[in-house]
Structure 1
């Protein structure tokens, strides 16, 4: 796993915690750590795998689940919202340019 992939995985985990309403304090109590330790770990540029797995377990998740969330977020980035599709459908030339540009990314 590259450094950028690890960073993205940690960012996805942070988003997961936020979505589930899991605080660092709660995570710390479940992981047997202090809240300060969890904060430091979550903001380090490099987090050892064993500590990351401990935090995942404390949040009742797994590296597989967070990786899947990360992959889903990546694929959703290329989707067009309904509002954009409606606006572009009124201007076919602009729609063509938009879809062509998005396709070649």
Structure 2
């Protein structure tokens, strides 16, 4: 799993976030079987309106706290298959990436 940590790079109400554009491009180029997501160091209303893949707003959490909470949530959303390989259940990943500080 790849987690991109993105800081907002636009003013509130601004139209373009350069850091978000890079993250969107990275997720768009990701292979279909890869699990990638973005942890956005900001509030939900600062997220870009056009997003590729899974984005989670850290909200009031520090980046370290947001990543720790995400780790716990991803572990809870994982199952083990044969050979003891963990598999992240993508349908649950969609649910947990809404807003991390609300979890």
TM-score (norm 2): 0.27
More helix by share: 1
What is the TM-score when the length of structure 1 is the normalising length? 0.26
Rg larger for: 1
